[in-house]
Amino acid sequence: MKKIYFILIILMGISMYSCDKDFLDRTPLDQISDPDFWTSETDLELYLNNFYDLFDGWWVAGGGKAPTYDQGTDLALPTPNAYGGDWTNRLDGVITIPASGGSWNWGSVRRINYFLENVDRVESASDQVDHYVGEGHFFRAWFYFELFRNFGALPIITKSLNADDVDILYGPRNPRTEVADFILADIDMAIAKMKYGSELANHKTRLSKDIALMFKARVALYEGTWEKYHAGSDFGGTGDPNAYLAMARDAAKQIIDDGNYSLVTGDPNSVYFDLFNQVDYTANQEVLFFKHFDGPTYGSNFSNQLWNWPNGYGITLDMTRFYLCTDGLPTAVSPLFEGDETLDILEKNRDPRLVQSVMVPGDIRRIMDGDTTYYLNPDVYNNGTGIESQKYRHIVVDPAVGPNNTNVDYIFMRYAEALLMYAEAKAELGEITQGDIDMTINQLRDRVGMPHLNMGSITTDPNWPDYGHSITDVLQEIRRERVTELYGEGFRFDDLMRWRSHQYFYGKRFIGTKYTDELRAIDDGMPESDDGFLDPMRYILTGPNSGYGFNSNRDYLLPIPSNELILNPALGQNPGW
């Protein structure tokens, strides 16, 4: 009990870098001592366990919607009655400088620094201690990367500060590239220290070497493309983009070569859908890292809303147009394309991943007590585009659990991402081969029975997005594959930012399906475009043509809160704010 109480003291919400007066009056963490703590590897495990709940998973109950972390990008839009709870404010350029808060939260960094400062007090010959040291470095890199994506340059702090650390508390931020290198160095330490997942008792729910490799590929790909496409702007770094891209390539390739994971295969017409609605991924060969949810643990106040439709957001028509026809050709040129303006034809002759990701009339909504309920039409008030998602849906109701299911696990990392990152890094480096494509993109297409991508005969797609820079045809197709494979898993906003893609969405709106008489009968007051499509952002966005108002000289990073600059002017504000 004493140890648990001690952990609660350490892990309570103490902000490390909000240099307000009461912070300076607090007892520094390094003065808290407990002679019974830091004595065994169990103490290390207990301390670290508290950080696992900081990984995002399902949203809590309430709101009547199933989640997607791509909401507010070009792929999925919030409903008109729920505007503002997502990335839309970022893309629209309506963020303001907060007085305090604003994601400038350093409490987790402070707590993990305290762990790393004290871990050597545990005297043990067990290699599990090294593993926990690796976890500590992973968590610090994770927390730093969350701050890095929002603010760029950051102070590099490797100790739990106290009031005497004036030079750090009131010092400047380190340059962007130094912060990226610091994050990657922490991940390298985690890789060196941690065990492979297969060596752990709680494989896939505990951090491992495999997971650290995946995270390294993510960070290195992010920074490599950021520094490449933001070069010469106020947001660029000073590093070598190709060096980061090579790190991403090599980390992803190690995951592939280690052979510990592979794509789940099965019926092409259901395998993709079935991947995302399982109650235990422990034995799933594709999943590296997931969060387990169950009713007894999370209680009656939690529900992942997988039974509750409509979604509370809408997939865009623009998102569906990334998906090829079943002949492997883009919709703009394929003779198999029958149209996509209305829901009844949207999925015809299209990549099975589209069929398994969106709802159309006639789809099964729920199977409960032997009765099957079918989907008829969207509730457009709660789904402003009319195109509802069925990724993550749990259709068959377990009688022991009921429809309000709390038991579907959430995937954080899966092998498909490693394939996509490897292909993208190789393409960005200008060294991709058909063999690389066969090992990555074509494996993903094989799973759902789609034709292969052939580098020597890529069909030009008139609808390829204009991201604001010239890229090769193969890179366009790799970026397409990221959408079709990873939709809804929370990668899109970061992709748009790291590719410096404001030209793609500035002054534009993304729309939904045709506002047909059937949909008007459900709700005849929905915003629509001039040519009759559902247009939920029409009267909300602030930019040109009532489109996104993103300021490319400012909005790629968030502003430092004003109170932080008053307390420490040396931090400096981000460009444009």
Residue ranges of domains in the chain: 2-54+97-237
d(CA 11, CA 569): 29
On the question of pLDDT at 78 being above 80, the answer is: yes
**Of 507, 561, 569, which Cα lies nearest the Cα of 537?**
507
- Alpha-carbon distances, residue 343 vs 117, 339, 392 (angstroms): 58, 10, 20
- Alpha-carbon distances, residue 309 vs 65, 69, 365, 406 (angstroms): 7, 17, 8, 15
pLDDT of residue 327: 98
d(CA 378, CA 156): 49
- Alpha-carbon distances, residue 383 vs 265, 309, 335 (angstroms): 32, 10, 31
pLDDT of residue 305: 56
Question: How many Cα neighbours within 13 Å face the side chain of 502?
Answer: 18
**Of 85, 100, 179, 87, which Cα lies nearest the Cα of 140?**
179
Could you report the per-residue pLDDT of 456-473, keeping only the tens digit for each?
A: 999 999 999 999 999 999
Looking at per-residue pLDDT, the higher value among 401 and 166 belongs to 166
H-run or E-run covering 129: helix 127-151
d(CA 553, CA 558): 12
Read off the tokens for 81.
């009655």
pLDDT of residue 303: 56
d(CA 94, CA 2): 48
Q: Amino acid letter at 235? A: F
Averaged pLDDT, 490-505: 98
Read off the tokens for 58.
């399902």
On the question of pLDDT at 481 being above 90, the answer is: yes
| Confidence band for 2, pLDDT divided at 50, 70 and 90 | very low
**Of 222, 220, 262, 263, which Cα lies nearest the Cα of 243?**
220
Express as a percent the part of the chain with pLDDT over 90: 76
Report whether the peptide linkage leading into residue 310 is cis, meaning its omega lies within 30 degrees of zero.
Answer: yes
Residue 160: count other Cβ atoms within 10 Å of its Cβ.
23
On the question of pLDDT at 414 being above 90, the answer is: yes
The hierarchical CATH code for the domain 2-54+97-237 is 1.25.40.390
Q: Write the DSSP assignment of 286-353 as a string of letters.
A: SEEEEE---HHHH-TT----TT--S-SEEE-HHHHTTSPBTTS--TTT-TT----SSTTTTTTTB-HH
Report the interhelical angle of 473-486 vs 415-428 (nearest 10°): 160
d(CA 413, CA 214): 8
Phi, psi of 548 (to 5 degrees): -65, 135
pLDDT of residue 394: 81
pLDDT of residue 9: 43
For the entire predicted model, the pTM comes to 0.93
pLDDT of residue 531: 97
The dihedral over CA atoms of 54, 57, 58, 59, expressed in degrees to the nearest 10, equals 40
Could you report the per-residue pLDDT of 27-76, keeping only the tens digit for each?
A: 344 444 567 788 889 999 999 999 998 998 776 545 455 668 899 999 99
Could you report the per-residue pLDDT of 295-319, keeping only the tens digit for each?
A: 677 665 555 555 555 567 899 999 9
Cβ-proximal residues to 455 (8 Å cutoff; 6+ apart), any chain: 432, 433, 434, 437, 474
Cβ-proximal residues to 562 (8 Å cutoff; 6+ apart), any chain: 97, 98, 99, 100
Could you report the per-residue pLDDT of 391-405, keeping only the tens digit for each?
A: 988 888 878 777 766
Three-state secondary structure call for residue 23: helix
Cross-strand bridge partners of residue 71: 76
Long-range CB pairs of 48-57 (<8 Å, 24+ gap) are: 48/115, 48/132, 48/135, 48/136, 48/139, 50/7, 50/11, 51/108, 51/111, 51/112, 51/139, 52/205, 52/291, 54/108, 55/291, 55/412, 56/490, 57/291, 57/293, 57/410
pLDDT of residue 59: 63
pLDDT of residue 369: 87
On the question of pLDDT at 528 being above 90, the answer is: yes
CA angle 413, 251, 449 (to 5 degrees): 55
Report CA 538 to chain centroid distance, whole Å.
Answer: 26
pLDDT of residue 253: 98
pLDDT of residue 57: 78
Q: What is the CA radius of gyration of the chain?
A: 24
Mean pLDDT for the chain overall: 90
On the question of pLDDT at 344 being above 80, the answer is: yes
Q: Amino acid letter at 336? A: L
pLDDT of residue 393: 84
On the question of pLDDT at 6 being above 50, the answer is: no
Read off the tokens for 493.
């906003």
pLDDT of residue 4: 45
